[in-house]
Amino acid sequence: MAGEKAAGEKKPGEKKPGKKKTDEKKPAEQKASQKEVGEKKKKIKKHHASRNPVLARGIGRYSRSAMYARKALYKRKYTAPETKIEKKKKEKPRATIIKPVGGDKNGGSRVVKIRKMPRYYPTEDVPRKLLSHGKKPFCQHKRRLRASITPGTVLILLTGRHRGKRVVFLKQLGTGLLLVTGPLVINRVPLRRAHQKFVIATSTKVDITGVKIPKHLTDAYFKKKRLRKPKHQEGEIFDTEKEKYEITEQRKSDQKAVDSQILARIKKVPQLRGYLRSTFCLSNGVYPHKLVF
């Protein structure tokens, strides 16, 4: 072992024959010894050879418990230093919260438990559900995009109030829906979401490289808002809620920002503007399965 110590850094080759002699030597001890020599600790620890002589390959003379005693692990118990995560975990979560209370002479506030005891214990236990495999929630689904749809492709919308209109594809959003824009001045289609399945992808593409789409355009931005706070007034509930959709200023500014970039590129291609203004329709003798889009 002394020989190893002295020539530890210089000759890694010497350690190899050392390894071969004691087959059962734990590789961890070897690596630890190398590290310690490199780090130059003040206490140079001598490493003992294996205290468990080998009877046959894979079989030692002493059992686990005997080895525990032989290695004196009872007095060698180390704990890892407490990490920041563990420190954070020690901070106990709040058990109660103070809530304000209305009314006269009520004291103004109450101390309320955050996590309450269950109010009902069923007499029969809920049966254990069978293991299921691969059933992911919607947010974890794999989103696919057809190879024919790339940023800048002209799409034909098939459903919705804008059916038949030709529209420019911008990007695919987190839920898999396609972000699409008219542009507004051309065919009155604003920044909108479209479903991949209800869209025909044409082979006409607008060069959209370098167009910056604001990052706040996500699914949450486009999601329909529904206010529901009826104060138990029947009769006028249906009127007060959002029946008239109002275009917010933010939408207008976002529309302008995106469209100005795209319009410049559309103008470069001859006749593309008129193409986007027109609508798609079928007539006699026109069969979609025979059309090349």
Partner 1 sequence: VFKRFVEIGRVAFISFGPHAGKLVAIVDVIDQNRALVDGPCSGVRRQAMPFKCMQLTDFVLKFPHSARQKCVRLAWEKENINEKWAATRWAKKIEAREKKAKMTDFDRYKVMKAKKMRNRIIKHEMKKLQKMSSKKGKKPEKSEKPEKSEKPEKSEKAPKSEKVQKAPKAQK
With beta carbons less than 8 A apart as the criterion, state whether 182 and 167 touch. Answer: yes
Q: Could you tell me the smallest distance in angstroms from the CB atom of residue 171 to partner 1?
A: 22
Q: State the CB neighbour count (10 A cutoff) for residue 153.
A: 22
Nearer to partner 1, 126 or 291 (CB): 291
The sign of the dihedral angle between the CA atoms of 60, 62, 65, 67 is negative
Binding site for partner 1 (CB under 8 A): 154, 156, 166, 202-204, 271-272, 274-275, 278, 280, 290-293
Q: Could you tell me the smallest distance in angstroms from the CB atom of residue 271 to partner 1?
A: 6
Across 88-173, where does the E strand assignment appear?
Answer: 96-100, 109-113, 153-157, 166-172
Q: Could you tell me the smallest distance in angstroms from the CB atom of residue 278 to partner 1?
A: 6
In 126-226, which ranges are continuous DSSP H helix?
A: 184-187, 219-222
With beta carbons less than 8 A apart as the criterion, state whether 255 and 181 touch. Answer: yes
Q: Could you tell me the smallest distance in angstroms from the CB atom of residue 187 to partner 1?
A: 13
Nearer to partner 1, 127 or 274 (CB): 274
In 71-129, which ranges are continuous DSSP H helix?
A: 84-90
Nearer to partner 1, 25 or 205 (CB): 205
If we measure between CA atoms, which residue out of 166, 181, 175 comes closest to residue 254? 181
Q: Could you tell me the smallest distance in angstroms from the CB atom of residue 137 to partner 1?
A: 38
Q: Could you tell me the smallest distance in angstroms from the CB atom of residue 262 to partner 1?
A: 17
Q: On the CB side of 90, how many CA atoms lie within 13 Å of its CA? A: 5
Nearer to partner 1, 154 or 217 (CB): 154
Q: Which two tokens stand for residue 242?
A: 């959002």
Question: Distance between CA atoms of 205 and 212, rounded to whole angstroms?
Answer: 17
Q: Which two tokens stand for residue 152?
A: 């800048």
Nearer to partner 1, 217 or 276 (CB): 276
Nearer to partner 1, 150 or 240 (CB): 150
